[in-house]
Amino acid sequence: MGSKLTKPLVALTILIVISCLFPPEASASRSVAYHLLDQLGGSPHYRLNVVVSESLLGYYLEKSHMLITNNDFAKFVTPYALKPIADNLRQIYPDDEDFVNGVLMIVHQIPYEETKPPKYPVETIAEDKGDCDVFSYVAASIIIAGGLNVVLLYYESESHMNIGVNLSQEPYDVNRRVDYVMHDGAKFYVGECTGDNWQSGWRVGECPDSLKNASVQVVTLESCEQTAPGQVSASYKSLQTSTLSLSISTAYLVQGSPVTLAGQLTPALQNKTVTIYIKANNSPWTALSTVATDSSGRFEYVWNGETSGICNVQASWSGDDDYAPADSPTRTVTVLSVFLVSLLAISVILAGLGVVVFLMSKQNREDIPEPRPPEIPD
């Protein structure tokens, strides 16, 4: 049993030493700015600042990017994560057609680069590059978050994708014939998401000539992502810096035991949602829980360590209209499995019993009188 116990103890010791020698650092946010026109064809008037926290980016980087069927396109549409962008666009574009054209202005500003495998919108915004499919995912996500019905339009023979948007009336601000796709008795007006002419480029209802007669598959988005651990931050103002701390009550615990995670948001803002992420061993980052800050900006969460091994924990705030997102430094918690602790306890007990038996045996040998040599007669 000693050899069986030695291997997991050695492995655990190595993991602990590595985590102490190379503790994860606090991560940085990614920022990008988009220009928007007050009126189509007019002068730039608005600058929308968008910030992606590194924790939210890490969450999407580690999600599955596999495409099995074309219906899997829908999983790359993430309205909740991009809702702050939609909310800001709605402030200046209450009209649905203008709103969609504002979204197209944004994706037309992202530099074109062929992208494989496909990426989630948060990745595309943070990396500031992509191609037709990832631009379509970004546009569809923002438009759905803005309250409109959207589909993806996939032209397999052309290796191309764009979007279709259902509007209450035919688009009027177009430079050519209006194009749409019928689906379930409704008109979905074509929105071309590629092109670097963001000021006077493609508008909703305009379709490239090469696609007018191409076969198209309509991909509906009922199965798109409904929620996410966090959101991007978006504002027309220059976002101020915020910070987030995180402390743990103990760095080592037995599986199933509680550990308190606490931290401070600066500035001290009340009722702000902090997401706590966890990465157990080599698994992807997942959202452990969310907690609200109190009147002093503090938060606290008690976690029972169910998963044994080395667990990294990080807290994140998505920011708001005034402040940029903030990520805490990553903290490490070592969770010892009950089985391993039991083996260790048994090993210690057996070792202790062995020492006692050895000492008693030695004492008994010392108590036995040595035989006297026989007497030699005179």
Q: What is the pTM assigned to this prediction?
A: 0.82
Query: Do residues 259 and 112 make contact, with C-beta atoms less than 8 angstroms apart?
Result: no
pLDDT attached to residue 20: 41
Q: Which domains does the chain have, with CATH numbers?
A: 2-23+240-338 (2.60.40.730), 30-219 (3.10.620)
Residue given tokens 């009722």 in the structure block = 271
Asked if 250 and 102 touch (Cβ cutoff 8 Å), the reply is no
How many other CB atoms are there within 10 angstroms of residue 359's CB atom?
Answer: 10
- Give the per-residue pLDDT at 13: 46
d(CA 60, CA 160): 23
Residue 337: the pLDDT is 81
Question: Quick count: other Cβ atoms within 10 Å of Cβ 336?
Answer: 17
Q: Provide the pLDDT for residue 362.
A: 67
Write out the chain's pLDDT in tens, 378 residues. Answer: 445 445 544 444 444 444 444 444 444 689 999 999 986 556 678 999 999 999 999 999 999 999 999 999 999 999 999 999 999 999 999 999 999 999 999 999 999 999 989 999 999 999 999 999 999 999 999 999 999 999 999 999 999 999 999 999 999 999 889 999 999 999 999 999 999 899 989 999 999 999 999 999 999 999 999 999 999 999 999 999 999 999 999 999 999 999 999 999 999 999 999 999 999 988 999 999 999 999 999 999 999 988 889 999 999 999 999 999 999 999 999 999 855 545 555 666 766 666 666 677 766 666 666 666 666 665
Give the pLDDT score at 44.
73
pLDDT at 143: 98
Strand, coil or helix: 45: strand
Identify the pLDDT of residue 24. Answer: 42
